């Protein structure tokens, strides 16, 4: 009898796990600052994934490196986009990024864009021709006060770009440099998440959640 009970319990756990995996959660932050995952059925649970860690400018670790393929040419959204937050380009099942990317290349010419979701307030700025060793201080680039489509900027080899990623569940700064460019085809960048230079950077505005 005990064996039947244990077998039934294991089966129930498997069914519950399969049901949870079948749903695609959305990351959010409560007004109290708690990171959570919201599920389509209205339930939620704490988000235990780690937020992006900033690296001091001019110090190790070395910048990461990734090649993005032009969206207009290859018609592949994931290969044209990159998540600084998770350090990935491809996320086939969207289990890590939840389809929330930070940078897009080649959606028309050699354009670089940062408006990726409906609540995006992100900014991008071309800092001109710079090497990583030239960076001593991160300039401020305040996010838009309301969701706004940020104008794209052209990719230029040797130029450094500053990005302030800001939406309902992300608020961080990143730098990237265009290392190689095949016009209308691919763009290779080196990148690093950097400290937020805004002295009074406030936590994200978030959803008012009710436990269910």
Q: 95-150 pLDDT, tens per residue?
A: 777 888 999 999 999 999 999 988 999 999 999 999 999 999 999 999 999 999 99
Token pair 């950077």: residue: 201
Q: pTM of the predicted model, to two decimals?
A: 0.70
Q: What is the pLDDT of residue 207?
A: 30
pLDDT of 134 reads 95
Does residue 22 carry a pLDDT above 60? no
Contact (Cβ atoms closer than 8 angstroms) between residue 122 and residue 164: yes
Higher pLDDT, 131 or 87: 131
Q: Round to whole Å and give the CA distance between 97 and 112.
A: 19
């Amino acid at each position: 009898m005990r064996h039947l009970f244990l077998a039934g319990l294991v089966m129930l756990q498997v069914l519950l796990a399969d049901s949870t995996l079948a749903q695609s959660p959305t990351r959010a932050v409560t007004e109290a600052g708690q990171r959570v995952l919201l599920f389509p059925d209205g339930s939620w649970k704490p988000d235990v994934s780690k937020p992006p860690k900033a690296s001091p400018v001019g110090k190790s670790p070395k910048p990461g490196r990734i090649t993005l393929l032009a969206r207009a040419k290859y018609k592949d959204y994931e290969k044209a986009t990159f998540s600084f937050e998770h350090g990935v380009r491809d996320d086939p099942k969207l289990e890590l990024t939840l389809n929330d990317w930070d940078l897009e290349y080649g959606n028309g010419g050699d354009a670089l864009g940062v408006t990726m979701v409906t609540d995006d307030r992100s900014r991008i700025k071309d800092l001109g021709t710079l090497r990583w060793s030239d960076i001593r201080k991160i300039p401020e680039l305040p996010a838009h006060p309301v969701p706004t489509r940020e104008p794209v900027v052209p990719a230029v080899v040797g130029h450094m770009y500053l990005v302030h990623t800001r939406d309902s569940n992300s608020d961080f700064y990143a730098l990237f440099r265009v290392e190689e460019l095949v016009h209308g085809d691919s763009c290779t960048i080196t990148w690093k998440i950097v400290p937020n230079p805004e002295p009074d950077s406030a936590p994200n505005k978030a959803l008012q959640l009710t436990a269910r």
